[in-house]
Structure 1
Amino acid sequence: MPRNNSYSHPLPFPILIGDIGGTNARFSILIDVYAEPKEFPIIQTADFATIDEAIQAGVLDKTSVQPRAAILAIAGPIRGEEIPLTNCPWVVRPKAMIKGLGLEEILIVNDFEAQALAIASLTEEHREPIGNGNEGMTASKVVLGPGTGLGVAGLIHAEHTWIPVPGEGGHVDVGPRSERDRAIFPHLEPIEGRISAEQLLCGRGMVNIYQAICKADGKPQTFRDPAEISSAGLAGRDAAAAETLSLFSTYLGRVAGDLALIFMARGGVYLAGGISQKILPALRRPEFRAAFEDKAPHSAMLRAIPTYVVTHPMAALAGLASYARTPSRFGLGTEGRRWKG
């Protein structure tokens, strides 16, 4: 299989850009380096048996533009000729896709690599600052996104280049620190005997925290859905739901601060995903920044690092478009992930 190991060799325009998650798939087409991406309606992955059918019906049948290449961000590890998605039955088969959809090249990247590419150039219009921090520093960044799971990626700045670093940082261990934590943690649902960040900081994690609070206090569990918990907590209609949001913000701040230390992210820490946007009023309260900064002996350094909520509705697509326009700006490794017809 022909592969290209160059970071900066551009793909041919027009380029199909896709962000494929477990539930939704978002697509756009970038005509050339100067154009704004043409976006298409969001596709429900459950509506199509394969990704090829979804692209044909949801994109190609709705435009006269025939893409020559595709850059697809998927939620799952990228290995081999058949690439399954983690939370969706779709399997990406690049060779068959090139032939069936009339493409010349395909590049597959991790979904949080796309988020990292996006934060390299987010403007104030598409980010909401949380707390204090030094603005405008060109330095390494971190993005984490509580959603179906907890995605994490770094964005290292070196040699005038942005280098995305995907990983599985959502699965690091977390533990109790306060007396309230020690009362609640025995009631949290573990995964194979441990509490990972993702067991707390995602949709099901919010439910996990809420149920543990109710068990610790001997109270009935009124809610089963994270949207119900966040809504009731923000409105102050339920004490357990309100505490859930407070603890969710605290734990998110702790993990975000840890990641800021790991990557020395003086350029900022960015919270992506729908949950962060929905609970923005809770994140503006003191708990998130207090936990983020509580990193002795480096609390002073953390106080100087800005934190943001990403508000761009299509951040991953924007990140992929930035790469498609100027690949030389990014140190995105393509070996084993770029196929040619």
Structure 2
Amino acid sequence: MVNETETLPTDTCAVVADIGGTNARFCRINLTTFELDRVQVFACADYPTLTDVMTAYSREQDVPLEHVAIAIACPVDSDEINMTNHHWQFSIRGVRKSMGLKTFKVLNDFAAAAMSIVTLQPHELKQIGGGKITPKAPKAVLGAGTGLGVGHLITMPDGSVMPLPGEGGHVDWAPTNEKEWAIHRFIHNRVGRVSAERVLSGPGLETLYLALADYHGRNVVPLSAAKIGQRALSGIDTLALETVNQFFASLGSFAGNLALNLNTYGGVYIAGGVVPKLMQLMATSNFRARFEHKGRFCQVAEAIPCFVITAEHAGLRGVGQYLKQSLQQSK
């Protein structure tokens, strides 16, 4: 994470944003009460640059931009930011200077997703198998949307938490049976290397639909991820239902791998735009079976709970939590 270091006064409001490849969500946060208001969602494609959408938010919500923190869907390891699934590029210092900001902080979107975990209430989480969490144990978070985001969260000795952002969505996708090898070949013939994101994302769901049609020797019209989900939920399209079930099976294997990486007895948390919309089908899928199918380490996987985050604007809350914690540490 790269951040400007100027301390924010605790008696002011800040603007926070969660910026993905498709949408940019902005809101104002009260740094004393931690309340969110003036939430507005913008389509990234409608704005040439980040500063254009920041200016639009300020103008439309009549909110001055002084102290701003954003989470963004790409690596944040230098001053130069290049989004993975969108064309925006910018310099952190350049934006701060050109916008006249007193403070500008930038973190990876799944660092923010990880930070949001500590703000969630029990009713904002839907548990999918496993036992009870170990509160101070490592946690993992993943989310399928425009891409596949991955992060972890660890608790420090002083009780604060540290997000561990990464690019785990771009690891190799590992087929586990004959059908999945056929899917792998289909995708490989189209794009070359097959990453997990090629399967576990909104565009991945669309590709899975075509790959499974090819596997069954069927000719189909390409469908959007939203349409595939709708048709699967309604039961009118068996191929769409098979596609969603395959998505959840592969998601379970991937989530189980994350669980083993850091022994995440604090839980594995699923965010993103795809899964919450298909929750009805998740319980009857092979998600949990594939999560636990880890050979000699199946007992470890069986004990680790999974949760789907159902809270609205969790990413924004994560940015706010990061900002709040950084303020406390700067005192």
* TM-score normalised by length of structure 1: 0.87
CA drift at 1:151? 0.7
- For 1:114, the equivalent position in structure 2 comes to 112
Shift of residue 212 of structure 1?
A: 1.6
Instruction: Check 1:153–1:237 CA distance in 2 against 1; reply closer, same or farther (3 A cut).
Output: same
CA distance 1:32–1:216, change in 2 (3 Å): closer
> CA separation in 1, counterparts of 2:144 and 2:329?
25
Which residue number in structure 2 is paired with residue 338 of structure 1? none
Q: Deviations over 1:132-186 (max 9, x none)?
A: 3214633111111111111111112231231111111011122222243344433
2: CA distance, partners of 1:3 / 1:84: 16
Partner of 1:11: 8
Q: CA offset at residue 243 of structure 1?
A: 1.1
Deviation of 1:262 after TM superposition, in Å, equals: 0.3
CA distance in 2, matches of 1:231, 1:97: 40
Q: CA deviation at 1:226?
A: 1.4
1:26 and 2:25 matched: yes
Checking the alignment, whether the CA contact within 8 Å between 1:131 and 1:284 is kept in structure 2 is: no
Deviations 1:250-308 (A, max 9, x none): 10000000010002111111111110111111211240000001112111111111111
Greater shift in the superposed pair: 259-268 or 185-194: 185-194
Instruction: Return closer, same or farther for 1:35/1:310 CA change in 2, 3 Å cut-off.
Output: closer
2:260 matches 1:255: no
Deviation at 1:82, TM superposition (A): 3.9
- Structure 2: distance between partners of 1:264 and 1:35: 31
Deviating more after overlay: 42-51 vs 265-274: 42-51
Distance 1:267 1:307 in 2: 9
Residue 93 of structure 1: which of 91, 94, 109 is its match? 91
Question: Residue 73 of structure 2 aligns to which amino acid in structure 1?
Answer: A
1-structure distance, mates of 2:71, 2:114:
11
| Worse-matched range after superposition: 288-297 or 224-233 | 224-233
**Post-superposition offset of 1:312:** 1.6
Q: CA shift at 1:327, angstroms? A: 2.5
Rounded Cα–Cα distance in structure 1 between residues aligned with 2:64 and 2:25: 17
CA distance in 2, matches of 1:152, 1:122: 18
Q: How many residues align?
A: 326
Determine if contact 2:291/2:301 at 8 Å carries over to the other structure: yes
CA separation in 1, counterparts of 2:122 and 2:95? 37
Aligned residue identity for 1:40? V
Please tell me whether residue 281 in structure 1 is matched to residue 297 in structure 2: no
Aligned with 2:73 (options 68, 72, 75): 75
Q: Which moved more, 1:118-127 or 1:241-250?
A: 118-127
| 1:168 equivalent in structure 2 | 167
Aligned-partner Cα distance in 1 for 2:177–2:85? 34
SS in 1 for 2:112: helix
Partner amino acid, structure 1, of 2:275: S
Q: Greater CA deviation, 287-296 or 307-316?
A: 307-316
Amino-acid identity (%):
35
Q: Which residue of 1 aligns with 2:316?
A: 317
Q: Residue 242 of structure 1 corresponds to which residue in structure 2?
A: 241
> Is contact 2:20-2:146 (8 Å) kept?
no
Look up the SS of the partner of 1:41 in the other structure.
strand
- Matched with 2:40 is 41
SS at match of 1:318: helix
* CA-atom RMSD in angstroms: 2.5
Q: Using the alignment, how far apart are the partners of 1:291 and 1:128 within structure 2?
A: 18
Q: Which residue of 136, 152, 155 maps to 1:154?
A: 152
Between stretches 90-99 and 30-39, larger displacement belongs to: 90-99
Partner Cα distance (1:143, 1:194) in 2:
24
Structure 1 partner of 2:211: 212
SS for the counterpart of 2:153 is strand
**How has the CA–CA distance of structure 1 residues 300 and 3 changed in structure 2, closer, same or farther, with 3 Å as cutoff?**
closer
User: For residues 76-112 of structure 1, what are the alpha-carbon distances to aligned partners after superposition, in whole Å with 9 as ceiling and x for unaligned?
Assistant: 2335544232333333333343344332121111111
Deviations along 1:52-92, one digit per CA (max 9) or x if unpaired, are 232222225523x5343211111223355442323333333
Aligned residue in 2 for 1:66: 64
* Bigger RCO of structures 1 and 2 (CA < 8 A, at least 6 apart): 1
Structure 2 unaligned residues grouped into runs of 5+: none
What's the TM-score, normalizing by structure 2? 0.89
Conserved? CA contact 2:187–2:207, under 8 Å = yes
